[in-house]
Amino acid sequence: AGPVREPNPARVLALGFAGVILLGGLLLSLPFAWEPGHRVSFLDALFTATSAVCVTGLVVVNTAETFSTAGELIILALIQVGGLGIMTMSTLFAILVGKRITFRERLLIQESLGQLSPAGMVRLVLYVAAVTAGFEVVGATLLTLYWWQAYDMPFGLAAYRGLFHAVSAFNNAGFDVFDSRRPSLERFAGDPVITLTIGGLIVAGGLGFTVLADLGRRLRHPRHRLSLHTRLVLWTTAALLVLGTVLVAAGEWSNPATMGRLSPGGRFWAALFHSITPRTAGFNMLPMAELTNLTVLATILLMFVGGSPAGTAGGIKTTTLALLLATVRATVRGEDELVLMERRIPTLVVAKALALAVMAAGLVLAVTVGMLLWDGHSLEATVFEVVSAFGTVGLSLGITPELTAAGKVLILLTMYAGRVGPLTVAVALTRRGRRPRAVRYPEERVLVG
Amino acid sequence: AGPVREPNPARVLALGFAGVILLGGLLLSLPFAWEPGHRVSFLDALFTATSAVCVTGLVVVNTAETFSTAGELIILALIQVGGLGIMTMSTLFAILVGKRITFRERLLIQESLGQLSPAGMVRLVLYVAAVTAGFEVVGATLLTLYWWQAYDMPFGLAAYRGLFHAVSAFNNAGFDVFDSRRPSLERFAGDPVITLTIGGLIVAGGLGFTVLADLGRRLRHPRHRLSLHTRLVLWTTAALLVLGTVLVAAGEWSNPATMGRLSPGGRFWAALFHSITPRTAGFNMLPMAELTNLTVLATILLMFVGGSPAGTAGGIKTTTLALLLATVRATVRGEDELVLMERRIPTLVVAKALALAVMAAGLVLAVTVGMLLWDGHSLEATVFEVVSAFGTVGLSLGITPELTAAGKVLILLTMYAGRVGPLTVAVALTRRGRRPRAVRYPEERVLVG
Ligand SMILES: [K+]
Ligand SMILES: [K+]
């Protein structure tokens, strides 16, 4: 018997996502998925399916008004399949990476999940699904009870909306089923319960599965030491939440079109929510078109960074940002190794962080050039839209429904690349060993700066 | 006798620049420097002096209409002192860097310049001044003859303008003495002689002194092998010129407010010039306020990259960009060392490039946030202005004269930081050796992407 050909996980991932998107696009372009009196073109259906599977949340049509309940449930299923697939695959890659490099992390994850046999894979998916279901059930229950009691929604409607938005929030999808008069979560601006429930689900989903597993272990074993990765993710996430809240508050505090009408407490909650949602949930409580320049800039930056690895969030990731900043500190201090929280970081990890950030910036710039050539919106709205699509955020300054066909195709491809790209790159980096060079070239220095 | 205290070159540089700026600001705020009937506030005079010494070219008032010939000559002197100071100091740092690391480059430069004794320093300044004078005299002669003959300017005026713009171009200063009806070089849009003369001076000044010295050596000794640094600078510069020309042509080819009225040949020259000038000259041939979004985006990117080290250009530098892209290639290929043009690049050089780029992005973002808080212009024009100031470019979408006092101070400080900052950082990196750590921490991996 010849050797068994190993499947290429990067190809499996890319084709699997494409297959689910195509299936979803076909389903959403059938009349049973539409509200009576509405039509959805195949391009719009495909765009919606891509946005759902890639847990982005950019929409060319209002979801509640255009799609029937059946259509909305298809979208919800696409979000859950996409989110679960991303969580599972990225955790799997994390294990593969860990397998090659860190003995300790491998032990941690393998102890929970077993070996990477087919049985271990099934166990991994079930484990991730159980954690996901736990968060979603708790979130849906809280939302249902609150909307039923505090907003006088009928119980059935409150339960449906509670489930939809809990799933959408934990998977960082950003889809909503409120009408276009006050879309997304605008009617809940400044509400502390909604901010904390939906914001909490977003943050939890964005921390990544390895961090959730590490934290869960700490809860069960108080003497368990959190990994460097977990500590780095938690500190960077906290710092970005504080920074984002301050910037959004500075931008909107006295803007009568956004926060100006809220109480000081309400303004705080709205600022906190608008610091959470760009990383990379995509709900909004404040009307996006009315935000000041400062908030728009802060939102673009937060969207570009995004959440943490091995979760449902997009962007270049918190750890990447932390490593870039740590490299600056080390270079300015004249240190020749990168030490963070009393641990040395391997040079190859820093190179990977740098490569990811540069590739992300390059992709955003290239797509923006294409959008400026083939879709005539302002530079600000275009950059915002492209960063939002790449980071699978789903916020928009309002141009998504007005995109040309070329613009829709570009944004659709950017959502796909932003979701699948970094993962497949991670696979490639994981599977390929260091190639020894045939030639050892002489060293030569170059001036920079 | 105790040990002689060595002067700190970073402090000498920063204070020297500040001193020249202050002197220039005082001179330009005296009435003899103004055209009759004009007044210049001390803040505006200080802004103009900063812009001249830092060879930026952002102006709050039209130079020709506001300053007398005496004032213009003071500005020209400030440009020359600033440019020569930058060329000399950055070359000196290049030698210091080379001294610590590359034996070959040290030999190359020391052979021309002698040891770094006080006498060697004087020789270095004279050498740089001679090369500068050579380029400026040739450029001024060509411009004078052309303007005298082809544009029917009186010979004296042509000679004055030729000298002024040759000095301004080689030092990447971007100051002009044309009136505000058609400011900068707008009256020469599409002129091949002006494009090639002024564009050539800009590119030569932007290549950096070590590259010019290396090329000069090649001219005298045809078998001399160009250094990796020289080859990297030349290739990156060429690639950016081609890319910039294509993007500007794509953005403006049929824009009736800019290139539309020119012949196809004229459009090519104008596109080439507008690809050269953001790196980091600051002249313009096309009205900046009329540029399309695509050209604005391309200009911002080119301004951020800027020119090459050890010259009069600003920005993060061509070599920094090349090293970032090479790191991406190496990471995607799974290689664990950075090889470029058959030479290995030391890891510390890559870390320095990364640190510079991240610091530059951070500074631009921080100043932009300040500008949005204290100076109410659009996000696009503000980012453009801040990148232009940081890169010491001098292009503007038109808001410079409309800046508030707070905005002027912020932009003034950004010009100074953009000019002096990278150099002092370079000194710090050069002078401080690798610090061995007292503790050797264990290695731990972090997930990115
Ligand atoms: K999203
Ligand atoms: K300049």
Which residues in chain B have Cβ-Cβ distances shorter than 8 Å to A254?
none
Examine the predicted complex and report whether its ipTM is higher than 0.85.
Answer: yes
Amino acid B67: pLDDT: 95
Task: Convert the pLDDT of each residue in B205-234 to its tens digit.
Answer: 999 888 888 888 889 888 888 888 889 999
Which residue, among B440, B422, B420, has the nearest Cα to B430 in the 3D structure? B422
Question: Who wins on pLDDT, B304 or A4?
Answer: B304
Question: From the list B301, B331, B449, which residue is nearest A309 (CB)?
Answer: B449
Q: Do A449 and B330 touch (CB under 8 A)?
A: no
Q: Do A429 and B332 touch (CB under 8 A)?
A: yes
Non-local (6+) Cβ contacts of A45 within 8 A are A24, A25, A26, A27, A28, A29, A33
Report the distance separating Cα B201 and Cα B199, nearest Å: 5
Q: Is A447 on the interface with B (CB under 8 A)?
A: yes
Give the distance (Å) from ligand 1 centre to CA of residue A394: 5
Burial class, B235, CB count within 10 angstroms (exposed 0-12 / middle 13-18 / buried 19+): middle
Q: Is B243 on the interface with A (CB under 8 A)?
A: no
Q: What percent of chain A has pLDDT over 70?
A: 85
Q: Is B310 on the interface with A (CB under 8 A)?
A: yes
Give the gap in angstroms from C-alpha B265 to the nearest C-alpha of chain A.
22
| DSSP bridge pairs for A17 | none
Give the distance (Å) from ligand 1 centre to CA of residue A313: 7
Retrieve residue A362's tokens.
Answer: 């390059």
Per DSSP, A224 falls in state P
Question: From the list B104, B301, B368, which residue is nearest A297 (CB)?
Answer: B368
Q: What is residue B51's three-state secondary structure? A: helix
The CA radius of gyration of chain A, in Å to the nearest whole number, is 22
In this predicted structure, the answer to whether residue B8 has a pLDDT above a threshold of 80 is no
Selection from A348-352, A383-387, A427-431 with the highest mean pLDDT: A383-387
Amino acid B108: pLDDT: 47
Q: What percent of chain B has pLDDT over 90?
A: 56
What's A300-321 look like in SS3? HHHHHHCCCCCCCCCCCCHHHH
Report the distance separating Cα A73 and Cα A87, nearest Å: 21
Q: Is A351 on the interface with B (CB under 8 A)?
A: yes
Give the distance (Å) from ligand 1 centre to CA of residue A283: 8
Q: Is B246 on the interface with A (CB under 8 A)?
A: no
The sign of the torsion formed by the CA atoms of B272, B278, B283, B287 equals positive
Number of CB atoms found within 10 A of residue A65's CB: 14
Q: Do A449 and B320 touch (CB under 8 A)?
A: yes
Give the distance (Å) from ligand 2 centre to CA of residue B184: 12
- Lowest pLDDT segment from A36-50, A434-448, B140-154: A434-448
Number of CB atoms found within 10 A of residue B272's CB: 22
The type of residue at A355 is: A
Domain boundaries, chain A: 9-105+114-430
Q: What is residue A222's three-state secondary structure? A: coil
| Closest-approaching ligand to the CA atom of B52 | 2
Q: How confident is residue A445, by pLDDT bands cut at 50, 70 and 90?
A: low
Query: Terminus-to-terminus CA distance in chain A, angstroms?
Result: 59
- The residue whose two tokens read 């407010």 is B257
Task: Convert the pLDDT of each residue in B186-207 to its tens digit.
Answer: 889 999 999 999 999 999 999 9
- Lowest pLDDT segment from B283-297, B302-316, B339-353, B363-377: B339-353
Give the gap in angstroms from C-alpha A365 to the nearest C-alpha of chain B.
9
For residue B249, give the chain A residue with the closest CA.
Answer: A373
Task: Convert the pLDDT of each residue in B270-300 to its tens digit.
Answer: 999 999 999 889 999 999 999 999 999 999 9
Interval A248-252 mean pLDDT:
94
Task: Convert the pLDDT of each residue in A368-400 to its tens digit.
Answer: 999 999 888 999 999 999 999 999 999 999 999
Give the gap in angstroms from C-alpha A122 to the nearest C-alpha of chain B.
23
**CB < 8 Å from A in window 34-93 of B:** none
**CB < 8 Å from B in window 383-402 of A:** 383
In this predicted structure, the answer to whether residue B100 has a pLDDT above a threshold of 50 is no
| Closest-approaching ligand to the CA atom of A53 | 1
A291 alpha-carbon distance from chain centroid:
22
Strands (E), B278-419: 338-340, 343-345
Task: Convert the pLDDT of each residue in B123-160 to its tens digit.
Answer: 777 888 888 999 999 999 999 999 999 998 999 999 99
Report the distance separating Cα B412 and Cα B20, nearest Å: 14
Q: Is A227 on the interface with B (CB under 8 A)?
A: yes
For residue A425, give the chain B residue with the closest CA.
Answer: B332
The type of residue at A288 is: M
Question: From the list B317, B331, B448, which residue is nearest A449 (CB)?
Answer: B317
In this predicted structure, the answer to whether residue B323 has a pLDDT above a threshold of 70 is yes
Q: Is A246 on the interface with B (CB under 8 A)?
A: no
Give the gap in angstroms from C-alpha A395 to the nearest C-alpha of chain B.
18
In this predicted structure, the answer to whether residue A1 has a pLDDT above a threshold of 90 is no
In a mutational test of the A interface, the residue from B288, B342, B444 whose CB has the highest number of chain A CBs within 10 Å is B444
Q: Is A105 on the interface with B (CB under 8 A)?
A: yes
Amino acid A437: pLDDT: 58
Which residues in chain A have Cβ-Cβ distances shorter than 8 Å to B435?
333-335
Give the distance (Å) from ligand 1 centre to CA of residue A323: 24
Which residues in chain A have Cβ-Cβ distances shorter than 8 Å to B365?
297, 301
Q: How confident is residue A72, by pLDDT bands cut at 50, 70 and 90?
A: very high
Report the distance separating Cα B316 and Cα B308, nearest Å: 8
Give the distance (Å) from ligand 2 centre to CA of residue B280: 5
Q: Is B349 on the interface with A (CB under 8 A)?
A: yes
Burial class, A254, CB count within 10 angstroms (exposed 0-12 / middle 13-18 / buried 19+): exposed
Give the distance (Å) from ligand 1 centre to CA of residue A207: 14
Give the gap in angstroms from C-alpha B344 to the nearest C-alpha of chain A.
4
In this predicted structure, the answer to whether residue B305 has a pLDDT above a threshold of 80 is yes
**CB < 8 Å from B in window 400-429 of A:** 422-423, 425-426, 428-429
Cβ atoms A287, A270 nearer than 8 A: no
Q: Do B345 and A444 touch (CB under 8 A)?
A: yes
